């Protein structure tokens, strides 16, 4: 979600629709407000000299979050070259703003805080000569012949990979309500970026919409930052997130209003009040139950949607999955899509959580290196992959709190034979390798 919503669009150095949340401050930077649609600049903006490069790599990783980084390290561990491309100026993705301690087991970073996992990954990647990274760079397109275009800072890259791991993550959902464009209404991920990455308190008092783990965790973090959280609003009749997270905010007196939704926000130029309303069992608002809260911050934590743009452009066979948050590529158990040698890992494969994203990244990497290798290296990779697949499906995802994601992922996973059929019926326009 970092840098993927449009909440922070401004005109920077004459360029409209710049995501300011990932634009580092620099001397002489000109930032202007933009309202609504802004026409492209009339004159060409001088971007300085743009260098062109052609890059060959064994593996291209699109997105440097938990799954992408764990994949890159695994590829390098087996001696292959890997290029990681990320839009942000720092690698780590969502890990950068996760200040809570991770669950799981000790081998999978359990007990460490998300940003500490990112720090460890960044350190390992920085000292690994097999891994090249491009930050502030965007994979903008894929072309026939399996060539990938990357637009970087003052540089343009044409990448020819043998395999690609799409670890593109997810975007935050938005919600329709009266005045939802008032400043003060932001995505929970955006607030986490401002607060946890840049150390800026996003407001004084907040209402949080959505009681999934993201909504509850952000409420706790707001409290830590000294923001008063008036309530968490949840449209369903039970808390969305894990009990232990919910208990954490309840102890400090934050109410969770079940079967309630946000009706409107009010304010002169920025949010000063939010109005919530109870809903019946059919999710219809119950007139007369409106309540108003004096807040200057309304955070939307109503779910994520897989970022599937890269897969769609590659022509991967996709399936709509409500359990996984939207349209996701069909894949085999080792996470290969219907585009030969294009893999999917992490939230792009269906919304789940960071530990499973890390495991998926490793599975995709191991499948690729087992294909690139032969002999004992190939069988070692395959063995390691099989072990991870079993752990992921039979142990980790056996948890009832992951039942929905598990069901969703089962429904979009097909056998290798089925995938071959899909490929022959619906041949994708590109392939890699």
Partner 1 sequence: MPTPSFRKTGVISLEELSTLNLLPPESRLKKGPVAVLECPEMIPCNICVPYCPTKAIKMEKLIDLPMVDWNKCTGCSVCVAVCPGLAAFVVDLSKEDGDYVTVPHEFLPAPKVGDEVTLLSRTGEKLGRGTVTRVWERNKTYVVTVKVPKGLGMEVRAIWVEK
253 binding partner 1? (CB under 8 A): yes
By CB under 8 A, which span of 66-74, 162-170, 186-194, 237-245 interacts with partner 1? 237-245
Answer for which of 242, 273, 333, 373 binds partner 1 (CB under 8 A) is 242
Answer for which of 90, 113, 263, 404 binds partner 1 (CB under 8 A) is 113
For partner 1, the closer of residues 12 and 359 by Cβ is 359
Q: Between vectors from CA 104 to CA 246 and to CA 5, what angle results, nearest 5°?
A: 60
- Residue 325 to residue 329: CA distance in whole angstroms: 12
154 binding partner 1? (CB under 8 A): no
- Residue 432 to residue 410: CA distance in whole angstroms: 25
396 binding partner 1? (CB under 8 A): yes
Answer for which of 140, 252, 266, 283 binds partner 1 (CB under 8 A) is 252
By CB under 8 A, which span of 60-68, 159-167, 253-261, 332-340 interacts with partner 1? 253-261
Minimum CB separation from partner 1 for residue 398, in Å?
5
For the record, the structure tokens of 419 come out as 């995938």
103 binding partner 1? (CB under 8 A): yes
Q: Number of residues interacting with partner 1: please give it, by CB under 8 A.
A: 41
Minimum CB separation from partner 1 for residue 41, in Å?
45
279 binding partner 1? (CB under 8 A): no
CB count within 10 Å of CB 41 equals 12
Q: Are 16 and 38 in contact (CB under 8 A)?
A: yes
For partner 1, the closer of residues 238 and 418 by Cβ is 238
For partner 1, the closer of residues 19 and 397 by Cβ is 397
Q: Is 371 helix (H, G, I), strand (E, B) or coil?
A: helix
For the record, the structure tokens of 285 come out as 């608002």
Phi first, then psi: what are they for 217, rounded to 5°?
-65, -40
Q: Are 147 and 160 in contact (CB under 8 A)?
A: yes
For partner 1, the closer of residues 63 and 240 by Cβ is 240
For partner 1, the closer of residues 178 and 398 by Cβ is 398
For partner 1, the closer of residues 194 and 392 by Cβ is 392
For partner 1, the closer of residues 201 and 270 by Cβ is 201
Measuring CA to CA, which residue among 341, 343, 360, 340 is closest to residue 351? 360
251 binding partner 1? (CB under 8 A): yes
DSSP secondary structure letter of residue 285: B
Minimum CB separation from partner 1 for residue 211, in Å?
8
For the record, the structure tokens of 258 come out as 């079940």
In angstroms, the first-to-last Cα distance of the chain is 30
For partner 1, the closer of residues 136 and 362 by Cβ is 362
For partner 1, the closer of residues 163 and 231 by Cβ is 231
- DSSP assignment of 335-363 equals -B-SSTTEEE-GGGGSS--HHHHHHHHHH
- CB burial readout 143-169, b (16+ within 10 A) else e: eeebebebbbeeeebebebbbbbbbbb
Phi first, then psi: what are they for 258, rounded to 5°?
-75, 155
30 binding partner 1? (CB under 8 A): no
Minimum CB separation from partner 1 for residue 254, in Å?
7
Minimum CB separation from partner 1 for residue 428, in Å?
34
For the record, the structure tokens of 428 come out as 């994708």
For partner 1, the closer of residues 105 and 415 by Cβ is 105
200 binding partner 1? (CB under 8 A): no
Answer for which of 15, 55, 90, 100 binds partner 1 (CB under 8 A) is 100
Answer for which of 52, 106, 181, 374 binds partner 1 (CB under 8 A) is 106
- Residue 233 to residue 239: CA distance in whole angstroms: 10
199 binding partner 1? (CB under 8 A): no
Alpha helices in 33-84 (DSSP H): 66-77
74 binding partner 1? (CB under 8 A): no
- Residue 134 to residue 162: CA distance in whole angstroms: 18
For the record, the structure tokens of 26 come out as 């620099």
249 binding partner 1? (CB under 8 A): yes
Minimum CB separation from partner 1 for residue 121, in Å?
17
- Burial of 39 by CB count in 10 Å (0-12 exposed, 13-18 middle, 19+ buried)? exposed
Q: Are 290 and 275 in contact (CB under 8 A)?
A: yes
- The alpha carbon of residue 368 and the mean position of all alpha carbons in its chain are separated, in whole angstroms, by 23
152 binding partner 1? (CB under 8 A): no
- Site for partner 1, rule CB under 8 A: 100-106, 110-113, 116, 223-224, 237-239, 242-254, 256, 258, 355, 395-402
């Amino acid at each position: 979600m970092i840098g993927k919503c449009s909440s922070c669009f401004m005109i920077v150095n004459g360029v409209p629709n710049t995501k300011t949340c990932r634009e580092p401050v620099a001397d002489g930077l000109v930032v202007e407000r933009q309202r609504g649609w802004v026409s492209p600049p009339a004159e060409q903006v001088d971007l300085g000299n743009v260098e062109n490069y052609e890059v060959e790599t064994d593996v291209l990783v699109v997105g440097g979050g938990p799954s992408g980084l764990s994949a890159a390290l695994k590829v390098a561990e087996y001696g292959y070259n890997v290029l990681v491309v990320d839009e942000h100026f720092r690698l780590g993705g969502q890990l950068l703003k996760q200040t809570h301690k991770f669950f799981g087991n000790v081998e999978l970073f359990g007990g460490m805080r998300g940003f500490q996992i990112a720090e460890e990954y960044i350190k390992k990647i920085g000292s690994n000569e097999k891994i090249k990274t491009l930050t502030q760079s965007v994979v903008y397109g894929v072309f026939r012949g399996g060539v990938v275009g990357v637009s970087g800072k003052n540089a343009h890259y044409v990448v020819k990979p043998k395999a690609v791991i799409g670890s593109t993550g997810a975007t935050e959902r938005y919600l329709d309500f009266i005045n939802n464009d008032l400043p003060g209404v932001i995505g929970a991920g955006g607030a986490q970026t401002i607060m946890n990455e840049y150390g800026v308190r996003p407001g004084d008092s907040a209402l949080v919409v959505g009681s999934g783990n993201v909504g509850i965790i952000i409420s706790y973090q707001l409290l830590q930052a000294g923001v008063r959280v008036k309530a968490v609003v949840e449209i369903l009749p039970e808390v969305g997130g894990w009990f232990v997270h919910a208990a954490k905010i309840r102890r400090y007196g934050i109410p969770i209003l079940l079967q309630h939704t946000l009706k409107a926000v009010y304010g002169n130029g920025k949010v000063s009040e939010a109005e919530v309303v109870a809903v019946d069992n059919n999710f219809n608002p119950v007139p007369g139950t409106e309540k108003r809260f004096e807040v200057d911050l309304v955070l939307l934590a109503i779910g994520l949607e897989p970022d599937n743009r890269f897969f769609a452009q590659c022509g991967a066979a996709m399936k709509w999955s409500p359990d996984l948050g939207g349209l996701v590529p069909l894949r085999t158990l080792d996470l290969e899509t219907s585009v030969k040698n294009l893999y999917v890992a992490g939230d792009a494969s269906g919304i789940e959580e960071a530990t499973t994203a890390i495991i998926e990244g490793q599975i995709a990497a191991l499948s690729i290196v087992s294909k690139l290798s032969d002999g004992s290296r190939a069988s070692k990779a395959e063995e390691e992959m099989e072990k991870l697949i079993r752990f992921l499906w039979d142990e980790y995802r056996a948890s009832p709190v992951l039942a929905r994601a598990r069901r969703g992922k089962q429904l979009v996973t097909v056998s290798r034979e089925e995938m071959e059929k899909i490929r022959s019926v619906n041949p994708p326009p590109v392939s890699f390798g």
